[in-house]
Amino acid sequence: MARLQIKDVVKRYGKTEVVHGINLDIEDKEFVVFVGPSGCGKSTTLRMIAGLEEISGGTMSIGDKVINDLAPKDRGVAMVFQNYALYPHMNVFDNMSFGLKIKKRPKEEIKRRVEEAAAILGLEEFLYRKPSQLSGGQRQRVAMGRAIVRHPEIFLFDEPLSNLDAKLRTQMRIEMKKLHRRVDSTIIYVTHDQVEAMTLGDRIVVMKDGHIVQQGKPLELFAHPVNTFVAGFIGSPPMNLMPAVVEGGEDAMKLKFEGELVLPIPAKEGSQISLGQKVVVGIRAEDLTLEGEQPGLPEDWKVSGVVDVVEPLGNETHVHVDLSGTRVLAKCEGRRIVTPGDTVKMEANLKHLHVFDAETTNSIY
């Protein structure tokens, strides 16, 4: 059983604390993605799991065993690094089998495991090439192969795709998902790329400044971000986040934005919004369209604005609009043609409205 438990784990470099007591349970065979901006502590956390960094406080356990003081090779984990770390003078077969040779596994077993991994990764033809004779994508596969041959209970990936070009990255994302099914092991995957996180993870753990901000299934995070950080980080293009003040009466609260824009707040159970409160309002670009694209919305969810910038992407168009002093990004159907300077009627799906307290940045609606 490869259930990993992280309890109050702290990392300090000298006097500087960079991971501040994180708690996380990762189930056997789960695919968990750590995502967050550069410097938030993703690699440090992964390296503590691998045993490459000492744990300054708290405990980590795999199954029932505390691993804090266990040597990396005894943890049943294998790590794939961003820069692949292949041995340049060894061919693919030797790179992949190196760890098993060190462990003095029998020759036939080594051959069998390398061939099995090569088949999973489509590397059979390249076993006798040196890394310099491989493309970036192939080197990346060799690095994964080196982990696979060890039959670890937990795979650790640190930004494994970030050195590949965009197209190859998309392909390798699909490969990663297939790999998870084939190896049937726990995967912990680190990335700063929210698209990778959304597409790969059974569960996403969002980190910021050495803390876990939120964790959950990709679509849970997308639908219910706990604060403005997660709201702005998850989803592409990023959510519109706009300052506003709550006005109106108790039973008909309104959002008064900068400039003239006013929108109603549909009544909702559990809402903690109060009159006069300063808030940050979140509306995703796909919930904000040109009139007619979301039939059936109430009249007071419609507003007019002036088109500022148009970015056609073919299948859709990103339209930057000035709504009486509040600038927003709307995602519209590809075929609709609008030009900068046009006055347009927009409609906002306020069923998907997000409201955050301006001071705490936490979700309050």
- The answer to whether 235 contacts ligand ADP (rule: CB under 6 A) is no
Rule CB under 6 A: is residue 227 a binding residue for ligand ADP?
no
Which residue's beta carbon is nearest to the bound Mg ion?
43
Strands 31-35 and 186-191: parallel
Whole-number Å distance between alpha carbons of 300 and 346: 11
Nearest approach, Cβ of residue 80 and ligand ADP (Å):
14
- Told to check if 191 binds Mg ion by CB under 5 A, we report no
Percent of residues in the chain assigned helix, strand, coil, to nearest 5: 30, 35, 35
Is residue 18 close enough to count as binding ligand ADP by CB under 6 A? yes
Judged by CB under 6 A, the number of residues near ligand ADP is 10
Residue 36 or 216: which CB sits closer to ligand ADP? Answer: 36
Give every CB contact of residue 64 below 8 A, 6+ residues apart in sequence: none
| From candidates 2, 36, 43, 347, binder to Mg ion by CB under 5 A | 43
For residue 24, give the 3-state DSSP assignment.
strand
Among 164, 171, 125, 119, smallest CA distance to 145 is for 119
Report whether 98 contacts 88 (CB < 8 A).
no
Site track for ligand ADP across 31-50, x = CB under 6 A: -----x-xxxxxxx------
- Nearest CB to ligand ADP, comparing residues 46 and 355: 46
Q: Which is nearer to ligand ADP, 38 or 315 (CB)?
A: 38
- Distance, in Å, from the CA atom of 117 to the CA atom of 113, rounded to the nearest integer, reads 6
127: left (phi over 0), alpha (psi -120 to 50) or beta: alpha
Selection from ligand ADP, Mg ion, none that 289 binds (CB < 5 to 8 A by kind) is none
User: Please, which residue, 42 or 113, has the CB nearer to ligand ADP?
Assistant: 42
* Closest CB to ligand ADP among residues 53, 202: 53
